[in-house]
C-alpha cells in the first residue's frame, strides 16, 4: 500500500512538471511565430523591453533577498533577547535560530521564484510528493526530531548533567535535534537517539543539590558493634564535606554467614559525591583495624566424620 501511494504521488508530481514544461514550450512557439512577421526595429524594441523587464525582476529579487535576510537577522536577535530574559538553555536558542534560518530561506526562495514569473504549482506538487516519500522513509528520524523538541521544551536534563538513559550513563555534552551526546567517565562520546530518551526512563543524578552516599561495612562476629559505630561516627565527623543535616545514619543491617554488615548513609553536596565515597572507603579501611575491628574473610567449615 505504501509503495503504491508513493508511486501515485511521484507520478502526479512528474505529470505536473510535464504540464508546466509543455505550457512553457507553447508560449515560446507563439512568441517565435509572432516575431517572424515583425521588422528588425520592432524586434529590437521588444528585446529591449524584455531586457528592461528582466532587469527590474532581478532588482526586485536582490531587494527581496537582502531585506529578507535583514529581517531574519532582526528576528533572530529578538528571539535571542527573549530567550535570555527567560533563562532559556543555549540548546533551545540554537535550535530556534536554525529553525528561523530554514523557514526564512524557504519563504525567500518561494517569493523569488514568484517574482521571476515561474509557475510554482508544479514544483509544489513535486515537493509535496517527495516530502511524503521522505517522511515515510525517515519515520524513525522524525521520531528522534520530535523527541529532541520535547527534551528542549520540558528539559528533563541539561548540558552538564550526569544522567543514565537507555542503558548508557555519562555527562550530557550536547543536546542535538536528533541525538543527545553523553561523555563517559573514561572520555568516550555516546550518541543516544532522542526519541527513546523522550519516552523512556531517565535518571538525572545532577538535578538535586544533595546526594546520599551509601556504604556497607563488614566486621567479624565477636566484634563490638557499638565500638564500630563510635569509630564510624568519628570518621564521619572528621570530614567537613559530610553534611550534619540530614543526619548521618548507621545501623546493623545484615547477619551474614561470615560477617556482620553495617549500613552507613551520609549526605553530601552533589559535586562532592565521588570524592567522599572514595575517601571514606580509604579511612574506614585504615581506621577500623587500629581499634581492634577486623574485616572478615569468607570461611568454610568442614566436618569430617569417620
The structural domains of the chain, with segments of one domain joined by +, span 2-137, 156-204, 210-291
Q: Which residues contact 72 (CB under 8 A, 6 or more apart)?
A: 100, 101, 104
Q: Which residues contact 224 (CB under 8 A, 6 or more apart)?
A: 293
156-204 matches 210-291 in fold: no
- CATH number 3.30.70.100 given to 210-291: yes
Q: What is the dihedral of CA 202, 204, 208, 209, to 10 degrees?
A: 180
Choices 3.40.50.720, 3.40.1030.10, 2.30.30.60, 2.40.33.20: CATH for 156-204: 2.30.30.60
State the pTM of this model.
Answer: 0.55
Assign 98 to helix, strand or coil.
helix
Q: Which DSSP symbol is given to 248? A: P
Rg (CA), the chain: 36
What separation in angstroms does the CA of 11 have from each of 4, 16, 18, 228? 10, 9, 10, 82
Query: Could you give the CA distance from residue 115 to residue 56 in angstroms, rounded to a whole number?
Result: 10
| pLDDT tens for each residue of the chain, 306 residues long | 444 444 444 454 555 445 555 555 555 565 556 556 666 776 677 777 778 877 787 888 888 888 888 888 888 888 778 777 767 666 666 667 777 777 788 788 877 777 776 666 666 666 666 666 655 555 567 788 788 888 877 888 888 899 999 999 999 998 887 889 999 989 999 999 988 998 889 999 988 999 999 999 999 988 999 999 999 999 999 999 999 999 999 999 999 888 899 999 999 998 999 999 999 999 999 999 999 998 887 766 678 887
Amino acid at each position: 500500500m505504501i509503495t503504491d501511494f508513493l508511486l501515485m504521488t511521484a507520478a502526479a508530481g512528474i505529470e505536473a512538471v510535464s504540464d508546466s514544461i509543455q505550457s512553457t514550450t507553447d508560449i515560446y512557439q507563439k512568441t517565435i511565430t509572432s516575431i517572424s512577421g515583425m521588422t528588425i526595429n520592432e524586434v529590437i524594441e521588444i528585446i529591449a523591453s524584455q531586457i528592461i523587464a528582466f532587469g527590474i525582476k532581478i532588482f526586485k529579487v536582490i531587494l527581496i533577498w537582502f531585506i529578507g535576510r535583514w529581517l531574519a537577522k532582526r528576528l533572530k536577535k529578538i528571539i535571542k533577547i527573549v530567550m535570555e530574559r527567560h533563562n532559556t538553555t543555549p540548546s533551545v536558542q540554537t535550535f530556534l535560530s536554525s529553525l528561523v534560518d530554514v523557514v526564512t530561506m524557504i519563504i525567500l526562495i518561494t517569493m523569488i521564484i514568484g517574482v521571476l514569473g515561474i509557475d510554482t504549482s508544479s514544483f509544489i506538487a513535486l515537493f509535496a510528493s517527495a516530502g511524503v516519500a521522505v517522511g515515510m522513509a525517515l519515520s524513525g528520524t522524525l521520531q528522534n526530531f520530535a523527541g529532541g523538541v520535547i527534551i528542549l521544551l520540558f528539559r528533563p536534563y541539561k548540558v552538564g548533567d550526569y544522567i543514565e538513559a537507555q542503558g548508557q550513563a555519562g555527562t550530557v555534552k550536547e543536546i542535538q535535534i536528533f541525538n543527545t551526546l553523553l561523555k563517559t567517565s573514561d572520555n568516550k562520546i555516546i550518541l543516544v537517539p532522542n526519541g527513546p530518551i523522550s519516552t523512556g526512563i531517565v535518571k538525572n543524578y545532577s538535578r538535586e543539590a544533595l546526594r546520599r552516599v551509601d556504604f556497607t561495612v563488614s566486621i567479624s562476629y565477636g566484634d563490638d558493634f557499638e565500638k564500630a559505630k563510635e569509630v564510624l561516627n568519628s570518621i564521619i565527623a572528621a570530614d567537613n564535606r559530610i553534611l550534619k543535616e540530614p543526619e548521618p545514619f548507621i545501623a546493623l543491617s545484615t547477619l551474614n554467614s561470615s560477617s556482620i554488615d553495617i549500613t552507613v548513609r551520609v549526605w553530601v553536596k552533589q559535586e562532592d559525591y565521588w570524592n567522599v565515597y572514595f575517601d571514606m572507603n580509604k579511612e574506614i579501611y585504615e581506621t577500623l583495624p587500629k581499634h581492634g575491628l577486623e574485616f572478615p574473610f569468607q570461611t568454610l567449615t568442614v566436618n569430617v566424620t569417620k
